[in-house]
Structure formats: structure tokens, C-alpha cells
Amino acid sequence: MDLRSHLEDLIPEQQERLKKLKKEHGNVQLGNITVDMVIGGMRGMTGLLWETSLLDPDEGIRFRGLSIPECQKVLPAAFPEGEPLPEGLLWLLLTGKVPTKDQVNALSKDLRTRASVPDHVYKAINALPVTAHPMTQFTTGVMALQVQSEFQKAYEKGISKAKFWEPTYEDALNLIAQVPVVAAFVYRRIYKGGQVIPADDSLDYGANFSHMLGFDSKKMQELMRLYVTIHTDHEGGNVSAHTAHLVASALSDPYLSFAAALNGLAGPLHGLANQEVLLWIKNVVEECGENITTDQLKDYVWKTLNSGKVVPGFGHGVLRKTDPRYTCQREFALKHLPEDPLFQLVSKLYEVVPPILTELGKVKNPWPNVDAHSGVLLNHFGLTEARYYTVLFGVSRSIGICSQLIWDRALGLPLERPKSVTMELLENHCKKAALTSKA
């Protein structure tokens, strides 16, 4: 039943696999780097090993080879036909294998034993103004947790590189277990007068998080299981995942690495987008009413675009079709809240926005992404505070980031240090290339 024991068996096998790959195929080219890639933020440039998930532009995300619908089908749930338990996805990400319900229950129990948060963490958060953004307070709490890092203690004492993964594993599971507690404290501090709700040890990870936030309905618990599961990982190139990998490559411990990732997640071009979507949708309702017609909605979308703004929740840096994470949330809404006015508005946006963005001609992907839907679901069940939504994203992303970080240490991945160039070098290179092509 023990997750760590499974990793102890898997790691030597994967270390040999990587060693063989590097020795036999290290010189094989993966593609050509263009000037556009260098100037454009390395977009599309293959340059990072990330084992836990892979993002295909057409298929969407696959967790260890499994699509979201497949994960919903095979991962253990709290009850038959229910949403997958996040603990099950954690097991899958770490081992590449679908766990049994008993294994998931054992992991859930292990996480509960690790979830105690020291008092100094709450004091650090309480030192901030209550008006500070929830992500600022959340990241402060994660940084305060860092003093308990097992990796830092082991490194200072002296530890073999071959065993780096072991204290990293302890930090990673401790962190995954503690972030819902910290996140719930932030929510209750800002929005509920500081009335903290203690954990319920009879509940699983997702349901317990919902409970600590103050939402005990069975449907909200199911939504939280789904939300945490689908937001865990999105391969390694996104800002939060890449930031964690970069910082951890300097042998910073999981707490420092994850806190850095959260600061990237807090940006409006990444995780903060889920906040922006609901605020924009509520603005639509305020100006046009809940019973907005399709033509009125088209006019509002054009008004947004013509003002130089984007329609939040549409488009993606990699995907070229509707985000599967959007689709599974839509299916959840159709099952549990089909009459919700904001959900019906989201459905209309699904019909209206893609054709407009296609007509605009500047968008490679006019389809909705994960952020287009999550806020409406949370709002329906009473979690209406949009400024807090990115914290939920952060709790979920801890599972994917920490899973990969354990493998970074196990595989001995090196310090990340890409080469940068100046505009002058690019200009000179392009001039030489032009002369060579003419010759």
C-alpha cells in the first residue's frame, strides 16, 4: 500500500532508462531553433524533460499517457460513477500506474498525518494586511513552511546525490498535504472573519479542502475533487511548472521551488486568468442582464475586442482545440447545474466567441480553455470570491509540480542554464544566413 516503496522499485529502472537514452541517442536532433522562438519567449521550443504529463495541441493533456476522460474512468472515486480522487492522480503521476482504491485510501491517510501546519505559518500570514491579494498570503504561508524542509536539513548534513530524492519525497508529500490547510486559512481570514474550520480526518483530500473552506455539500466536494485533479499538471513548459523546475534545478528545496512557481501562477497571463473570466462574465450580466440574447452577446464581445482587450478564457499557448479540461467541467455542469444562468451564459459564449475570434484572424486557437468554466462552477456552489480562485489552482498544481520534482531528483537532472543572445548577434547571424543562401 505504500507509495514510497513503489518509487524505490521504480527509480533504479528509470535511472537506467535515462542513462541509456543519453548514451545511445544523445546527439539526435529534436528540431531547429528559429529567431521567432528566441524572441517569442522560447514558445514551442523543445527543451525540457517532464515525465508526469504531456500536452498535445490536438488531444490536450495526458497524465502518464491517460486522457482526462480515461482518468475519470479508471482512477478510484469516492463513490461509483463519481469524480476521481486527487490522491489517485498523485499516485499515477509518481508511478505511471493506476492505483487501487486501497492504495489511494492508504495515501489519503498518509497525507492526513502530514497536514499539521506550525503556528508560525499562521503568524507570518497574519503579519500581512488582510487586504493583501490571496496569492500573496498563500505564497507567504508556503515560504513560512520552508523552515521544516527535510531536503535542506539533509543537504546541510551531507547526503549522497543518489539519495536526493528521499528527503525531496518527504518535503513534497508534506507540502501537498499542508497547502490546502494554508489555503483554507487564507480564505477564512480574508472572507469569513478569520473563523477557521479544522480538518475532518474522515474526508479525502478534495472533500476535506472543500470542508475547510466552509462548503460541505456533496456536489461541492465532487467539484473540488474534479477541480484539483484536472489542474494538477499541464506538462513542464507553462510558467508555474517551468519556474519550479528551474528553481529546483539549483537544488532549492520543494518549498522554495513551489513558492516561486506560485509567483508565476499569480500572473494574469497564467493562473490569474480564472479570476479574470468570472469578473468579465459578471460584467456582461451587469451591463446586459442574465437573459442576454446571442446578438447582444456578440456586440459585447466585439466591444471588448475593439477596446484593445481580450476575451478571457479563450485561446491557449499550445492547444489548438477546445481544452479537455473545459469539456469535463461543462459535462459536470450539465449533470449538476444545467439551469444555472451563468452556466447558460458560458454555453452561449462557447457558440459566439470562437467564430468571432476566427473572423478576427489573429488567434491561432479560438476555443475555450480551462479558465473559461471553473469560476462559474465555483460561483454556483457559493465560492463567489473570484480573487481567491488562483489559490485553488495553486493547491492543485502542487501535486503535479511536486511529483515531477521527486523525479528530477531521482534522475539527477542538472542545473538548467539555457544560452541567451543579443539582438546584434541575431541580426549578424541572419545576415550571414542570407549571404550563404544567395551563394
Q: List residues with catalytic annotation.
A: 270, 316, 371
In one-letter notation, the amino acid at residue 394 is: G
User: Is the distance from CB of 396 to CB of 258 less than 8 angstroms?
Assistant: no
Spell out a b/e string for 415-431, using b for 16 or more CB atoms within 10 Å of the CB, else e. eeeeeeeeeeeeeeeee
User: Is the distance from CB of 315 to CB of 363 less than 8 angstroms?
Assistant: yes
Residue listed under C-alpha cell 461509483? 80
Residue 272, all three cell numbers: 490569474
- The end-to-end CA distance of the chain, in Å, is 67
Q: Which residues contact 166 (CB under 8 A, 6 or more apart)?
A: 154
DSSP state of 77: B
The radius of gyration of the chain's CA atoms, rounded to the nearest angstrom, is 23
How far, rounded to the nearest angstrom, does the alpha carbon of residue 174 sit from its chain's CA centroid?
18
Residue 202, all three cell numbers: 474522515
Residue 322, all three cell numbers: 477546445
Surface-to-core class of residue 36, CB atoms within 10 Å of its CB (0-12 exposed, 13-18 middle, 19+ buried): exposed
How far apart CA 92 and CA 94 sit, in angstroms, is: 6
Residue 175, all three cell numbers: 507540502
Surface-to-core class of residue 46, CB atoms within 10 Å of its CB (0-12 exposed, 13-18 middle, 19+ buried): exposed
DSSP codes, 260-300: HHHHHHTSTTTTTHHHHHHHHHHHHHHHH-TT--HHHHHHH
How far apart CA 313 and CA 9 sit, in angstroms, is: 42
How far apart CA 273 and CA 166 sit, in angstroms, is: 35
Residue 381, all three cell numbers: 456552489
